[in-house]
């Protein structure tokens, strides 16, 4: 028999789980395998010794001790957040650190909120952001001008032209990236131009968007032709190198 | 009324029913105590381990997955606590506790008690893994599947370790003066 089978057989024999037929077969086989027989005897002997070890009753106080400890655990769990930081058992140094951190946090929040509101009052862009008012008209059937601290421009919807077009004109006073995303089934970039080509200006035209890195003080215009009866919103974004200034969803809609 | 299943008691306990946990303590206090006692061979340590096991189980009750047997989950905590207890006192030489097994009695009982005492002492000389597997199988009557699940072993490895553990235990017992009955 293979070792695993022998072990399996021994365990079954110890559990008295062998059927009579297997018992007869195995006893006949064991006659020739003295080693297996020896191991089985050894295992039986040790099992018998182990069976002599009886269960011990736990001390009577143990149950009460456990049950008394449970409500304390429950209480401790409920209070843990506060007591672990500020509880009486805390060392004074730890308490001072905790109070300091809490005060620091409250002061920090106060300063941040004040600065945010002050900045908002003095900054047009922030005001736009706070009030949620639209930078452009949701339905721009005429020229929409906008004036930001760092960029001036206008977005127009020329409905009367032979080929209706969306025209975006920008003149930034610091480097800025502008992008316009649209559904290519509805719009198509027609052309773009800038005041001075010597000023640079990195233009990337994709089927569904146009993205321009505009240098300072150079007027840039891109023109998008529409080619459908109804339009999905276009997404216009203005970014500096490290922050997003505007992200607007523009709905182009012909006036009835 | 039918006795509630462990999993039902756990659920009641999580709903804030205080008596539910008391019932679980009543059910498993003895096996956990005996597990700890056989592992540590010290009554005071066993009582401490039992208490810590139930407290930890209570704290972690929300993490208990109902598709596990509660008792095997609780045993696993008990095993870990027993091992922690043994680690803490590793530097100390274990002193056999005479009170672990019943004292000597007259006649046949005396021989059995003496054997039980010797077996407990011999167990303490066994490697922790082998001792644990013998305790779970012989003193707690757990089946191979439960032991395998509890110790994260395969069933075959459990069987192999059991055979090895018994052989090692026998060698220790023979050295301690136990009479070997030849086959």
Give CA torsion, residues A99, A105, A106, A110, to 10 deg.
160
Identify from B14, B77, B163 which residue to disrupt to test chain A contact, counting A C-beta atoms within 10 A and taking the largest count: B163
pLDDT digits (tens, 9 = 90+) for B46-90: 999 999 999 999 888 888 877 678 888 999 999 999 999 888 775
pLDDT at B49: 93
Q: Which backbone phi and psi does A216 adopt, to 5 degrees?
A: -70, 145
* Ramachandran bin of A180, using left for φ above 0, alpha for ψ from -120 to 50, beta for the remaining angles: beta
- Nearest of B152, B80, A101 to residue B161 by alpha carbon: B152
pLDDT digits (tens, 9 = 90+) for A92-107: 677 788 888 999 999 9
pLDDT digits (tens, 9 = 90+) for B150-182: 888 999 999 999 999 999 999 998 888 887 776
Asked if A53's CB is within 8 angstroms of B59's CB, the reply is: no
% of chain B with per-residue pLDDT over 90 = 28
**A64 shares contact with chain B (CB less than 8 Å):** no
Give yes or no for residue A213 having a pLDDT over 60: yes
Collect all residues of chain A within an 8 Å Cβ-Cβ radius of residue B119: 49-50, 52-53
Q: How many CB atoms lie within 10 A of CB A36?
A: 18
Give yes or no for residue A221 having a pLDDT over 60: yes
Residues A109, A222 contacting (CB under 8 angstroms): no
**A47 shares contact with chain B (CB less than 8 Å):** yes
Collect all residues of chain B within an 8 Å Cβ-Cβ radius of residue A74: 58
Average pLDDT score over residue span A1-22: 69
Cβ-based burial of A72 (10 A; exposed 0-12, middle 13-18, buried ≥19): exposed
> Which residue among A7, A8, A52 places its CB closest to the CB of B112?
A52
Read off the pLDDT band of A72 (50, 70, 90): low
Collect all residues of chain A within an 8 Å Cβ-Cβ radius of residue B55: 66, 69-70, 73
Q: What is the ipTM of this complex?
A: 0.79
Q: How far does B170 lie from chain A, in Å, by closest CA?
A: 6
Asked if B100's CB is within 8 angstroms of A56's CB, the reply is: yes
- Choose the weakest-confidence range: A101-110, A183-192, A245-254: A245-254
Tokens of A191: 């052309």
Read off the pLDDT band of A239 (50, 70, 90): confident
**A69 shares contact with chain B (CB less than 8 Å):** yes
What CA–CA distance (Å, rounded) separates B140 from B119? 16
- Nearest of A164, A161, A173, A155 to residue A230 by alpha carbon: A164
What CA–CA distance (Å, rounded) separates A187 from B28? 74
Q: Render the burial of B111-150: b for 16+ CB within 10 Å, e for the rest.
A: ebbbbbbbbbbbbbebeeebbbbbbbbbbbebebebbbbb
pLDDT at A109: 92
Which domains, ranges and CATH numbers included, belong to chain B?
1-91 (1.10.1740.10), 98-183 (1.10.10.10)
Identify from A7, A10, A49 which residue to disrupt to test chain B contact, counting B C-beta atoms within 10 A and taking the largest count: A49
pLDDT at A153: 62
Asked if A63's CB is within 8 angstroms of B26's CB, the reply is: yes
**A15 shares contact with chain B (CB less than 8 Å):** no
Collect all residues of chain B within an 8 Å Cβ-Cβ radius of residue A13: none
Looking up tokens 């012909």 gives A254
Residue with the bigger pLDDT between A122 and B146: it is B146
> Which residue among B33, B102, B169 places its CB closest to the CB of A54?
B102
**A10 shares contact with chain B (CB less than 8 Å):** yes
Give yes or no for residue A231 having a pLDDT over 60: yes
Give yes or no for residue B145 having a pLDDT over 60: yes
pLDDT at A32: 62
pLDDT digits (tens, 9 = 90+) for B88-131: 775 444 444 444 444 334 455 667 778 888 888 888 888 888 99
Q: How many CB atoms lie within 10 A of CB B101?
A: 23
Asked if A42's CB is within 8 angstroms of B33's CB, the reply is: no
pLDDT at A127: 41
Residue with the bigger pLDDT between A104 and A206: it is A104
Per DSSP bridges, beta strands A187-194 and A220-226 are antiparallel
**B30 shares contact with chain A (CB less than 8 Å):** yes
What CA–CA distance (Å, rounded) separates B80 from B86? 10
Read off the pLDDT band of A11 (50, 70, 90): confident
């Amino acid at each position: 028999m293979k070792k695993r089978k022998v072990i399996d057989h021994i365990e079954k024999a110890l559990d008295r789980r062998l059927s009579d037929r297997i018992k007869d077969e195995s006893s006949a086989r064991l006659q020739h395998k003295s080693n297996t027989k020896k191991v089985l005897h050894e295992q039986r002997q040790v099992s018998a010794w182990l069976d002599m070890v009886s269960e011990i009753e736990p001390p009577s106080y143990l149950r009460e001790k456990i049950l008394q400890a449970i409500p304390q655990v429950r209480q401790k769990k409920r209070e843990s957040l506060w007591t672990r930081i500020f509880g009486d058992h805390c060392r004074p140094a730890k308490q001072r650190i905790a109070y300091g951190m809490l005060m620091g946090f409250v002061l920090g929040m106060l300063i941040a909120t004040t600065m945010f509101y002050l900045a908002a009052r003095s900054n047009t862009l922030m005001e736009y952001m706070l009030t949620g008012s639209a930078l452009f008209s949701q339905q721009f059937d005429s020229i929409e001008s906008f004036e930001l601290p760092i960029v001036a421009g206008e977005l127009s919807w020329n409905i009367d032209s032979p080929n209706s077009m969306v025209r975006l004109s920008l003149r930034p006073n610091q480097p800025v990236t502008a992008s316009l995303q649209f559904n290519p089934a509805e719009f198509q970039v027609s052309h773009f131009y800038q005041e001075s080509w010597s000023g640079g200006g990195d233009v990337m035209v994709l089927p569904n968007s146009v993205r321009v890195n505009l240098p300072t003080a150079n007027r840039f215009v891109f023109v998008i032709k529409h080619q459908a009866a109804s339009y999905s919103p276009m997404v216009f974004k203005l970014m500096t190198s490290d922050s997003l200034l505007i992200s607007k969803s523009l709905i182009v809609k012909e006036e009835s | 009324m039918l006795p509630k299943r462990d999993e039902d008691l756990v659920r009641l306990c999580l709903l804030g029913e205080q008596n539910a946990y008391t019932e679980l303590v009543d059910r498993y206090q003895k096996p956990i105590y005996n597990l700890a006692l056989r592992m540590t061979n010290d009554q005071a340590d066993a009582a401490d381990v039992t208490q810590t096991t139930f407290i930890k189980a209570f704290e972690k009750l929300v993490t208990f997955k109902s598709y596990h047997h509660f008792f095997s989950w609780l045993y696993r905590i008990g095993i870990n606590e027993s091992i922690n207890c043994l680690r803490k006192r590793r530097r100390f030489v274990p002193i056999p506790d005479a009170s672990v097994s019943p004292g000597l009695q007259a006649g046949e009982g005396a021989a059995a008690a003496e054997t039980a005492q010797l077996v407990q002492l011999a167990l303490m000389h066994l490697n922790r893994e082998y001792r644990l597997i013998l305790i779970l199988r012989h003193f707690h009557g757990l089946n191979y599947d439960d032991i395998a699940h509890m110790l994260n072993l395969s069933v075959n490895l459990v069987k192999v370790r059991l055979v090895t553990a018994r052989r090692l235990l026998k060698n220790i017992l023979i050295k301690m003066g136990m009479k070997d009955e030849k086959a």
